[in-house]
Amino acid sequence: MNGTPFAEDPFARTPSAYTDYRVGEPVVDTKAPEGPIEERWARRRFEARLVNPANRRAHTVIVVGTGLAGGAAGATLAEQGYRVLQFCYQDSPRRAHSIAAQGGINAAKNYRNDGDSVRRLFYDTVKGGDFRARESNVHRLAEVSVEIIDQCVAQGVPFAREYGGLLDTRSFGGVQVSRTFYARGQTGQQLLLGAYQALSRGIAAGSVEMHPRTEMLDLVVVEGRARGIVARDLVTGRIDTYLADAVVLATGGYGNVFHLSTNAKNSNATAIWRAHRRGALFANPCFTQIHPTCVPRSGDHQSKLTLMSESLRNDGRIWVPRERGDTRAPADIPEDERDYYLERMYPSFGNLVPRDIASRAAKNVCDEGRGVGPGGQGVYLDFADALARLGRETVEARYGNLFEMYQRITDEDPYRVPMRIYPAIHYTMGGLWVDYDLATTVPGLFAIGEANFSDHGANRLGASALMQGLADGYFVLPATLADFLARHPHDEVPRDHPAVTDAVSEVTDRLYLLLSNNGDRSPESFHRELGQLLWDACGMSRSETGLRKALERIPELRAEFWRRVRVPGSGKSLNQSLEKANRVADYLELAELMCLDALHRAESCGGHFREESQTPEGEAARRDEEFTYAAAWEFTGPGNAPVLHREALEFSHVHPTQRSYA
């Protein structure tokens, strides 16, 4: 499909029943070379143009975000000799939310000799993504995975090791090989510190100009090309324009649109949403991942949700009372009045069914009124059997730190009382549409890591987020970006170019509007309301009626926001309410697109479950005939119907099958 548009529209038979959007031209990835899938990445790198080392200093690249993808990219580009301007809203690049990833990082090293290979990792990832990812990209990810481990070890990342001094691996997320490298429960932290340290070296050497506590508020597009960003210094309130030859967004996912998620409080969607408004297509926004084992919320004050490693399901048994409204203490509920629903429904996988299935089942039993804990939003994860079988010592060795964390939050002792868990938004597979080169549809704008719609299709496997972030940042982007820079000579953009000044005044106007509104509701209250709305309509389970209702309500809420929001203080100094309000304003637009995407995709796949599309057993049913494509949306103006551009997906190496765990 190299460069050739579709001869005929393969989607002609797809019913476009909804009037909320228009269908535009298909979008095509023209960068992945043809030929055997194993050779595509090597070919692409060979065909890529290079930038002469002596000329690299003359090229400025903006990198927004300092997580695994952004930190790795900034450090690598600086090492190669480019001038890097890097931004993060945190006070230090070391605090990006990649730091909170617990489990591990996959790599097809096959150190265990247990049958792993690049091919198998590729296969597992495509299948795990429920056949909604691009094969070429996923294969490259699997290839690059082995280099990541080498790179990180060389940087001093203290991975877990065995007594012989070699790296330890474990099996993770239900795969049959042990390919997950880990550093206790802090793998994300250790990998991020590795990237941060490499970046710090670049900063000290003067090759990276670091701007912490600076938030990107808009993209500057000059004559169709991304040429810079408008950013606000969060301490002084100063709005500045930064110009460059290319802009790389590594700003993470948009899970915080749900208000409660496992994301960091300040993780936000502003950078990618602003880029979307400036012309970058946004792909598969409804593909969100829900993690089944989070600590349930304890009240209205709840500000975020804490994830507990999935490994708990290896030994814990999940249950709820058989009868609804049973408020007895768990210990008082006799065995025959408990419903171990996962074991009952999925006898062969039991408590180890994939994340989306476990999450949905928990939601269903809670919707039936059988949930436990405050508000009935929780299910038990019981270790009584494991404690009796293995003894406290073994359980402590396996899960001690998690039990401690749970007890710290809930003040309940999981050794005595069953844990309570509930699913929470955890990761977003959707994001800015990118081609094989990780380039968006705006020339000169790249998106890496969770910010792009990436390699995970409709569902991400455990321990693959870290892999993708580092693959993009260390290895893929630096190669493809050079090709772009070499092929696209440019002139300096004058600072008074209308495109620049327009972007600045748009940003300042918006902030002024927020500050001068003088309403009566806090930004947080809107965020909370939107989050609840979205969680109900576009969370674990989605239906046409629910989504349509949400699509009606969101514009109303948005209007109310602009009418009633109140932001105290000024824009001339640190003002966290202003930051929040500005982010919520974008969530109010993004949420609508998510619902629309969820509505248009009238199939269930991966993390996207449509109640109308189920198997007779009540499992997710894909509709490959109609929906084997990535949905890339074009922004056409606030409140206007977006345009859908479909990218057809071909599966010539992994054949689509329906998942079954019964």
- Shortest distance, position 576 Cβ to another protein, whole Å: 6
Q: Identify residues 524-553 at the interface with another protein (CB under 8 A).
A: 524-525
Contact track, another protein, 473-512, x by CB under 8 A:
-xx--x----------------------------------
Among 8, 335, 411, 492, binds another protein (CB under 8 A): 411
C-alpha to C-alpha distance for 155 and 153, rounded to whole angstroms: 5
Angle (nearest 5°) at CA 392 between 390 and 398: 75
φ, ψ at 18 (rounded to 5°): -85, 140
Stretch that binds another protein, among 28-36, 152-160, 529-537, 593-601 (CB under 8 A): 152-160
| 16 makes contact with another protein (CB under 8 A) | no
- Sheet with 379-382, strands from edge to edge, namely 288-294, 419-428, 379-382, 317-321, 338-339
Q: Identify residues 169-188 at the interface with another protein (CB under 8 A).
A: 183-184, 186
First to last CA, the chain: 37
| 114 makes contact with another protein (CB under 8 A) | no
- Shortest distance, position 183 Cβ to another protein, whole Å: 6
| 60 makes contact with another protein (CB under 8 A) | no
Q: Which is nearer to another protein, 201 or 549 (CB)?
A: 201
| 111 makes contact with another protein (CB under 8 A) | yes
- Shortest distance, position 396 Cβ to another protein, whole Å: 17
Question: Among 460, 429, 262, 258, which residue's Cα sits nearest to residue 354?
Answer: 460
Contact track, another protein, 231-250, x by CB under 8 A:
--x-xx--------------
- Sheet with 239-243, strands from edge to edge, namely 214-222, 225-233, 239-243
Under 8 Å between Cβ of 574 and 564: no
Q: Identify residues 189-208 at the interface with another protein (CB under 8 A).
A: 189-190, 193, 196-198, 200-201, 203-206, 208
C-alpha to C-alpha distance for 627 and 644, rounded to whole angstroms: 13
Q: What share of residues in the chain are helix, strand, coil (percent, to 5)?
A: 40, 15, 40
Q: Identify residues 592-631 at the interface with another protein (CB under 8 A).
A: none
DSSP string, 261-321: BSS-TT--SHHHHHHHHTT--EE-TT-EEEEEEEPPP-STT-----B--GGGGGT-EEEEE
Angle (nearest 5°) at CA 642 between 639 and 647: 160
Q: Identify residues 270-329 at the interface with another protein (CB under 8 A).
A: 298-299, 301-304, 306-307
| 576 makes contact with another protein (CB under 8 A) | yes
- Shortest distance, position 535 Cβ to another protein, whole Å: 18
Question: Among 370, 310, 312, 307, which residue's Cα sits nearest to residue 340?
Answer: 370
Pairing of strands 338-339, 180-181: unpaired
355 flagged as catalytic: yes
Q: How many residues bind another protein (CB under 8 A)?
A: 91
Active site residue: 355, 420, 553, 583, which one? Answer: 355
Q: Which is nearer to another protein, 153 or 648 (CB)?
A: 153
Stretch that binds another protein, among 263-271, 311-319, 387-395, 614-622 (CB under 8 A): 263-271
Question: 């919707």: which residue's tokens?
Answer: 367
Stretch that binds another protein, among 49-57, 74-82, 447-455, 637-645 (CB under 8 A): 74-82
Q: Which residues are catalytic?
A: 355
